[in-house]
Amino acid sequence: MDIPGNMNIKLQPTVTLAEVAEAAGVGESTVSRVLRNHGSFSQKTHDRVMAAVERLGYVPNRIAGALASAGSRLVAFVIPSLSNIVFPDVLRGAGGVLEASHYQSVFAVTDYDPGREEAMVAAMLAWRPSAVMLAGLEHSEGTAKMLRASGCRVVELLDLDGTALDLAVGFSNAAAARASAEFMLRRGYRRIGYVGHDLVRDTRAGKRFAAFCAALEAEGKPLAGREIHAGASSVEAGRLGLERLLARVPDLDAIYFSNDDMALGGYFLCMARGISIPSQLAIFGYNGLDMARVTPQPLSTIRTPRVAVGQVAAQLVLDDAPSQTIDLGFELIEGETA
Amino acid sequence: MDIPGNMNIKLQPTVTLAEVAEAAGVGESTVSRVLRNHGSFSQKTHDRVMAAVERLGYVPNRIAGALASAGSRLVAFVIPSLSNIVFPDVLRGAGGVLEASHYQSVFAVTDYDPGREEAMVAAMLAWRPSAVMLAGLEHSEGTAKMLRASGCRVVELLDLDGTALDLAVGFSNAAAARASAEFMLRRGYRRIGYVGHDLVRDTRAGKRFAAFCAALEAEGKPLAGREIHAGASSVEAGRLGLERLLARVPDLDAIYFSNDDMALGGYFLCMARGISIPSQLAIFGYNGLDMARVTPQPLSTIRTPRVAVGQVAAQLVLDDAPSQTIDLGFELIEGETA
DNA sequence: TCGCATTTTGGCAGCGCTGCCAATAGAAAT
DNA sequence: ATTTCTATTGGCAGCGCTGCCAAAATGCGA
């Protein structure tokens, strides 16, 4: 007689290595060797083992494997967000390289919160990953300490303006911002405003802002106005931000946006308002989103090698490269909006 | 004297539970109980253990924990792409819910290839995850077999038009496409074209296309033209696709796009060409991207609850809910482009 | 102070697989 | 046929943690 409540209990009829060995009539270690194609074994044995594996539908247990061999082949990503396309792009680049080498990706999202970052890093470290990849160079004391103590590789991504813990792959946000400022001044813009998002939490945006302002000041043309949205960047925030800034400071001739999402919002506002770009108002972004190349006027921006950052980071880990910093640079796109 | 080649060898000074127990002067199981806050122990013991943990910088090894307790608290996502914002959105929704319950997310990208999907599912299953989340209902024979045999929960996302293996969370793509067709006909468009991307690999896009055509035909107004881009969807592909379609079939009065990315491309083409929307040409998309709400004219489209799909899927897994299908529906956005 | 019910605690056998090492089987050489 | 060497193979001890169970400590009422 079945106990009703028992219906939910699903007994996993998990097939184990030992059962495969039994079925194939060989020893456990032989099955292990065949499956990992490691060590030597005869063709006959190989076939018998594979047949048993097939027949039983055996799926190796990597938890046990990782414990026994002290190698998880897991790479942990602790990223601020999945809404900002930058991070999926990096994941994509790294994921492709890692999958080819049979590594797996685990991720956690911090929402730009250092406290959450620390918690997530601890949680990831519990899986003894081969490497931990983080955004940026700013981390809490505790995070850095754990990472150092963990003994696993650490890769800090998308920022080179500071000191890395181990490996760093990216580009200089400050240099990108300076290049943007110089470009805009060269083009003759004189009353430049800034529309950005939360630059305390997004430290890379903060660094760009600081460097941009400094570059303008160095040329004696300080920032003529700014509007900072309190939350994350988005097209809508960019549109709103520009609207507010123009209401306060109408006579600007160019706007530097914290990134392309924001810039597109500004671009759309101008289109809706009939503000002609760039003659009445110039727009400059950051990131080089694909979308921003296809707008009626391609956006003037900085293109960052996001996918490449992921790929290079992954490759360094696979190669067990010595600690180093790799600058993948950026490209200034002279679009038609500035 | 150091051997040069030895420098790379990093001996992980991994602290173990046993060492913590030793340091705290208690038994291993006591440490385990304290750390998991499970079972009973005195306050004094608790403090001593925590102090030792702190002092040694102990990070529990979840690989060992998972092996011993047969519970990985890992949820695997096998998704087609990270470029299409849909999937990061789902990950975000699910990730938030899972993290709150101390589950971790592992992911792999299939690039819309069923063969790769099968390989990725096998790789994920090797970690004995609590659940596997997949996009859509179409999977290879082998994938389905493995999944069924695995005994772990399976959640199929973003598609309800077909048969689910276990849990399914999403909405009907066919219904969304029908709603779109009916809306466009109701608005009076008569020569409707389609601009899409690879609809064999992206089966959900394929289902929408089929349902859309069928709905038009049912009203005696069959599709007046189509242009299908061979690769993934993108803003650029949408722009190019519309350009090509109009070259072949100039007298269309509305276009149904395979998704909002494509639609935005079409929108930008019209702006660049001075084609007035919607009077000369109407545009209708699918997905309800945030960006499409902020363009000078908000895009007419179907908004899908992507983040909610992730959240609900995760919650079902956490609740160990019985097999079921959950329809989260969609919303038709009457924008200004159709 | 003693007996009994609890509350705490420690010991230890695995979880499923890998790595080491010894044992066996074959192959080649004498 | 015998020996030597090499290609194969199996046994078994962990990897670090959890779950079970018995042992020890504690609390309480009589």
**Residues of chain B with C-beta less than 8 angstroms from the C-beta of A88:** 82-83, 85, 87-88
Question: Within 7 Å: CB of B27 and strand C?
Answer: yes
3-state secondary structure chain B: CCCHHHHHCCCCCCCCHHHHHHHHCCCHHHHHHHHHCCCCCCHHHHHHHHHHHHHHCCCCCHHHHHHHHCCCCEEEEEECCCCCCHHHHHHHHHHHHHHHCCCEEEEEECCCCHHHHHHHHHHHHCCCCCEEEEECCCCCHHHHHHHHHHCCEEEEECCCCCCCCCEEEECCHHHHHHHHHHHHHHCCCCCEEEEECCCCCCHHHHHHHHHHHHHHHHCCCCCCEEEECCCCCCHHHHHHHHHHHHHHCCCCCEEEECCHHHHHHHHHHHHHHCCCCCCCCEEECCECCHHHHCCCCCCEEEECCHHHHHHHHHHHHHHCCCCCEEECCCEEECCCCC
DSSP state of A290: S
Q: Are residues A233 and A87 in contact, defined by beta-carbon separation less than 8 angstroms?
A: no
d(CA A214, CA A208): 10
Q: How many CB pairs under 8 A join A and B?
A: 166
- The answer to whether residue A173 scores a pLDDT higher than 90 is yes
Chain B residue numbers touching A91 (CB-CB < 8 A):
82, 107
In the stretch 279-338 of chain B, residues with CB closer than 8 A to chain A read: 290-291, 293-296, 320, 322
Residue B14: its pLDDT value, please?
A: 86
Split at pLDDT 50, 70, 90, the class of B12 is low
Burial of A200 (C-beta count, 10 Å sphere; 0-12/13-18/19+): exposed
Q: Can you give the pLDDT at residue B71?
A: 87
* Cβ contact, residue pair B236, A293, below 8 Å: yes
- Residue B323 is predicted with a pLDDT of 96
Kindly state whether A96 is in contact with chain B, defined as any CB-CB distance less than 8 angstroms. Answer: yes
> Does position A161 have pLDDT exceeding 70, yes or no?
yes
- CA torsion B12-B17-B21-B26 (nearest 10°) is 180
**What's the pLDDT tens digit per position in B146-176?**
999 998 999 999 999 999 999 999 999 999 9
Of chain B, the percentage scoring pLDDT greater than 90 comes to: 94
Helix/strand/coil (H/E/C) assignment for every residue in B239-291: HHHHHHHHHHCCCCCEEEECCHHHHHHHHHHHHHHCCCCCCCCEEECCECCHH
Please report the pLDDT score of residue B8 as a whole number: 34
Protein footprint of strand D, defined by Cβ closer than 7 Å to any strand atom: A 25-30, 33, 39-42, 44-45, 64, 67-68, 70; B 14, 16-18, 28-29, 32, 35-36, 38, 60-61, 64-65, 67-69, 71
Residue nearest to nucleotide D6 (CA to C1'): A40
Which of B104, B304, A120, B321 is CA-nearest to residue B313? B321
The whole-number average pLDDT for the span B11-39 is: 90
Question: Is the pLDDT reported for residue B233 higher than 50?
Answer: yes
The distance between the two most distant Cα atoms of chain B, rounded to a whole number of Å, is 88
CB A193 within 8 A of CB A252: yes
Q: What are phi and psi of B168, to 5 degrees?
A: -140, 135
What's the pLDDT score for residue A13? 67
CA A264 – CA A287 distance, rounded (Å):
12
Task: Kindly indicate the confidence band of residue A39, based on its pLDDT and cuts at 50, 70 and 90.
Answer: confident
Closest by CA position to A300, among listed A323, A275, A321, A281: A281
Phi, psi of B319 (to 5 degrees): -80, -5
Whole-number pLDDT of residue A11 = 45
Residues in chain A: 338
Question: pLDDT digit string (tens) for B301-312?
Answer: 999 999 999 999
Shortest-distance nucleotide from B62 CA to C1':
D17
- The pLDDT of residue A80 is 96
Structure tokens at B265: 């491309």
B143 within 8 A of B129, measured Cβ to Cβ: no
Render pLDDT for B63-78 as a digit per residue (tens, 0 to 9).
Answer: 999 999 888 999 999 9
> Running DSSP on this structure, what letter comes out for residue A269?
H
Whether residue B327 contacts residue A272, with contact meaning beta carbons closer than 8 Å, is answered with: no
Chain B residues whose beta carbon lies within 8 Å of the beta carbon of residue A102? 123
Burial of A277 (0-12, 13-18, 19+ CB in 10 A): buried
With 90 as the cut, is the pLDDT of residue A245 above it?
Answer: yes
CA of A40, C1' of C29: distance in angstroms: 24
**Predicted local confidence at residue A9, as pLDDT:** 36
Nucleotides of C under 7 A from a protein CB: 7-12, 14-21
pTM strictly above 0.85: yes
Q: Which of A63, A87, A276 to mutate to test the interface with B (most CBs of B within 10 A)?
A: A63
The secondary structure of A202-246, three-state, reads CHHHHHHHHHHHHHHHHCCCCCCEEEECCCCCCHHHHHHHHHHHH
Q: Which residues of chain A have a CB within 8 Å of the CB of B146? A: 57, 59
- For residue A334, give both structure tokens: 């002279």
- Residue A232: phi, psi to the nearest 5? -75, 165
pLDDT at B9: 36
Q: How confident is the model at residue A308 (pLDDT cuts 50, 70, 90)?
A: very high
Per-residue pLDDT at A12 exceeds 80: no
pLDDT digits (tens, 9 = 90+) for B259-285: 999 999 999 999 999 999 999 999 999
| Tokens found for residue A126 | 């519990």
Residue A7 has pLDDT above 60, yes or no: no
Residue B2 has a pLDDT of 34
Q: What is the mean pLDDT of residues A310-332?
A: 97
